[in-house]
Amino acid sequence: MSTKAALSPSPLSDAVRAVKSGQRSAESLVQESLDRIAAADGKVAAYLSVQGEAALEAARVIDNAVAAGDAATLAKPLLGLPVAVKDNLCTQGVPTTAASKILEGYVPSYDATAVRKLREAGAIIVGKVNMDEFAMGSTTETSAYKVTRNPRNLGHAPGGSSGGSAAAVASGTVLGALGTDTGGSIRQPAAWCGVVGIKPTYGRVSRSGLIAYASSLDCVGPIATCVADAAALLAAIAGPDAASDATAAEPAPLPDFGAVLRGVDAALEGGAGGGRGRPLEGLRVGLISEALTAGGVAPEVAAAARAAADALAALGARIADVSLPRLPQQCAAYYVNALSEASANLARFDGVRYGARARDAASARASLLRTRHDGFGAEVRQRILLGTFSLSAGYADAYYARAQAVRAGLRTDFARAFAGADVLLCPTAPTTAYRLGDFEAKGVASYADDLFTVPASLAGLPALSLPCGVDAAGLPIGVQLIGGAWQEEALVRAAYAYERSTDWRARLPPGLQS
């Protein structure tokens, strides 16, 4: 086991620096990534498609530009970095399926804004990764194509819906990946795979090109092996996108994360008497009391979250209990809200303009029905039906309207909580990774396990998950930090200080566990 001293604070920065200095070629980075995919993915099955040739070609273009000393190229913050992209983000000319049969053969005519920004920052996409079909699920098992396994324990699920992204990072095939988070789909797989995931403030990253699940909740965000790398990826994809997404915004730009992290480093090293410093002095952390006592929370998870709060206190943070009294209602409100929107968002998949179309139907109507019946998996069909029901005349008031009311009430609760806290803390998920098959066995009961992640989604707040322990079986435990709107800086600062002063990252190195 490596020690934390041996760990670079940012492998991503190291790689980019090496490319820029000519110390390493982008091509060799990409090749290394492809080799690792070849070695690991037979077991993990994170990738739905690998664009090896295109990635190598892109790398060679970068290497030539670096050799020529091209200033614009050398200014790119992610130059030469191999990344993986969740398969619900459109990639021009590259199949994009959202892990659904109904989009089999669909090749987008455009790049998602986040994808375009990654490319513009110099990153190289090596593959599209697996997910729950249309992001509906929390283990990646609803994918129509393959079962992705948790690199920490192949008998377990990687979480979901961004399970492919988390598994790709945790198995060491890439340093970073894009995921999407509607009700926890970045944070929960990051927690289960022992990596770092950030769900930014709603609107921080453009949704253009993200195949919509629930428009008012969907966020694009990064998954990486450490806080600094996740922050660097977030910085690359963030920003308003007035031309393509009316809901993207930037009332407060992201800070220079490099400077934020250097500040933390300086404070850590500058501790009195050569001891550890207190970089989080003044930070007010609210421990969500209901989260540690809720039914279904594994004792090890609750203990790890409490220990994380203690660790933050040791770094200077002031910890206080805060209450989110309506927490138990959030899952129901979330699902009604998300599924209502999903029922409309998924209506466009009819086989008329793209994707798979049922054959031998006698009429347009029959074609529509058969295409959708055959094209969607059982979980997706169930969610469309539930959402359609929630919006139906005679039921909309009892379901959709009530969910909206709960959502509005939650904002009030958060406002109260943030009056006394800069950051809220709770477990990311009540349990560690499910065994494969558990999701289906639990049925809709599994929806309740989104309890800790949906509040930030409903309120549009930024939230981050990072490793804070392992359970008896060696499966990672994640802790979630929730920030005020547009306050990603506080999350990154607290998470980085925590990560640098604990050894969870060192104990959960990327790569396949034997």
Partner 1 sequence: MGTRRVELATAAAAAMCLVLASHLRLVSGLCARSVLGASSVGSSRHAVASRQRHTLRMGAAASTGGKRKRGKANPEMDAVLEKYEPVIGIEIHVQLATESKAYCRCSTTYSPLTPNTNICPVCMGEPGSLPVPNDKVVEIAAKAGMALGCSIAQETKWDRKNYFYPDTPKNYQITQYDRPIGEHGRILLPNGREVGVTRIHMEEDSAKMNHQGAGTSLAGSTHSLIDFNRAGIPLAEIVSEPDMRSGLDAAEYGKELQRILRYIGASDGNMAEGSLRLDVNVSLRPKGSSELRTKVELKNLNSFRAVQESTDYEIIRQGKCYETGETIRQETRLWDEKEKVTKIMRVKEGESDYRYFPEPDIPPLRLPRAVIDGWRAELCELPAEKRARYRSEYKLSEADAETITDDQTVAAYFEAAIAAGADPSEAAKWILGDIAAYVNKAAVAITDIGLTPPLLAEMVTLIQGGRITGKIAKELLPELLEGGCEGGVAAVVKERGMEVITDVTVIEGVVREVMEKNADKVEQYRGGKAQLAGFFVGQSMALSGSRADPGTLQRVVKAMLDGTQ
* Catalytic annotation, residues: 86, 161, 185
The burial class, CB within 10 Å (0-12 / 13-18 / 19+), for 50 is buried
Which residue number, 229 or 350, has a Cβ lying nearer to partner 1?
Answer: 350
* Residue burial 310-342, b: 16+ Cβ < 10 Å; e: rest: ebbbebebbbeebebebbeebbbbbbbbbbbbb
Q: Please give the distance of CA 416 from its chain centroid, rounded to a whole number.
A: 27
Answer whether 184's CB lies under 8 Å from 223's CB.
no
Does 29 interact with partner 1 (rule: CB under 8 A)? no
Residue 317 DSSP label: P
Q: Which of 330, 367, 369, 368 is nearest to 482 (CA)?
A: 330
Residue 124 token pair: 């190289």
Does 308 interact with partner 1 (rule: CB under 8 A)? no
Does 89 interact with partner 1 (rule: CB under 8 A)? yes
Does 38 interact with partner 1 (rule: CB under 8 A)? no
User: What's the rounded Cα separation, in Å, for the pair 34 and 146?
Assistant: 19
E-strand spans in 152-230? 176-181, 196-199, 219-224
Answer whether 501's CB lies under 8 Å from 466's CB.
no
Task: Give the interface segment with partner 1, choosing from 63-71, 244-252, 472-480, 496-504 (CB under 8 A).
Answer: 244-252
User: What's the rounded Cα separation, in Å, for the pair 322 and 481?
Assistant: 13
Does 207 interact with partner 1 (rule: CB under 8 A)? yes
CB of 112 to partner 1, least distance (A): 6
Binding residue for partner 1 (CB under 8 A) from 33, 165, 182, 343? 343
Does 216 interact with partner 1 (rule: CB under 8 A)? yes
Task: Give the interface segment with partner 1, choosing from 17-25, 63-71, 269-277, 353-361 (CB under 8 A).
Answer: 353-361
Does 399 interact with partner 1 (rule: CB under 8 A)? no
Does 214 interact with partner 1 (rule: CB under 8 A)? yes
User: What's the rounded Cα separation, in Å, for the pair 181 and 189?
Assistant: 10
User: What's the rounded Cα separation, in Å, for the pair 172 and 397?
Assistant: 48
User: What's the rounded Cα separation, in Å, for the pair 56 and 59?
Assistant: 5
Does 406 interact with partner 1 (rule: CB under 8 A)? no
Does 201 interact with partner 1 (rule: CB under 8 A)? no
- The single-letter code of the amino acid at 166 is A
Does 54 interact with partner 1 (rule: CB under 8 A)? no
Does 397 interact with partner 1 (rule: CB under 8 A)? no
Which residue number, 66 or 115, has a Cβ lying nearer to partner 1?
Answer: 115
Provide the mask over 90-119, with x wherever binding to partner 1 is found by CB under 8 A and - wherever it is not.
x-----x-x----x--x-xxx-x-------
Task: Give the interface segment with partner 1, choosing from 193-201, 325-333, 374-382, 387-395 (CB under 8 A).
Answer: 387-395
Does 446 interact with partner 1 (rule: CB under 8 A)? no
Does 179 interact with partner 1 (rule: CB under 8 A)? no
90-97 CB contacts, 8 Å cutoff, 24+ apart: 90/115, 90/209, 90/210, 90/211, 91/115, 91/125, 91/128, 94/49, 94/51, 94/54, 94/125, 94/128, 95/49, 95/128, 96/128, 96/211, 97/48, 97/128, 97/144, 97/145
CB of 389 to partner 1, least distance (A): 10
Binding residue for partner 1 (CB under 8 A) from 67, 246, 408, 419? 246
Does 27 interact with partner 1 (rule: CB under 8 A)? no
Binding residue for partner 1 (CB under 8 A) from 141, 341, 413, 488? 341
302-310 CB contacts, 8 Å cutoff, 24+ apart: 302/427, 303/469, 304/427, 304/468, 304/469, 304/477, 304/479, 305/425, 305/426, 305/427, 305/468, 305/477, 305/479, 307/468, 307/469, 308/425, 308/468, 308/469, 308/479, 308/498, 309/285, 309/425
Q: Which of 123, 124, 136, 200 is nearest to 162 (CA)?
A: 136
Task: Give the interface segment with partner 1, choosing from 181-189, 207-215, 306-314, 426-434 (CB under 8 A).
Answer: 207-215
Task: Give the interface segment with partner 1, choosing from 123-131, 225-233, 291-299, 340-348 (CB under 8 A).
Answer: 340-348
Does 215 interact with partner 1 (rule: CB under 8 A)? yes
Footprint of partner 1 on residues 283-302 (CB under 8 A)?
none
Does 28 interact with partner 1 (rule: CB under 8 A)? no
Does 242 interact with partner 1 (rule: CB under 8 A)? yes
Does 408 interact with partner 1 (rule: CB under 8 A)? no
Does 49 interact with partner 1 (rule: CB under 8 A)? no
CB of 341 to partner 1, least distance (A): 6
Does 367 interact with partner 1 (rule: CB under 8 A)? yes
Which residue number, 119 or 284, has a Cβ lying nearer to partner 1?
Answer: 119
What residue ranges bind partner 1 (CB under 8 A)? 88-90, 96, 98, 103, 106, 108-110, 112, 207-212, 214-216, 242-247, 340-341, 343-344, 347-350, 352-354, 357-364, 367-368, 388, 391-393, 396, 400
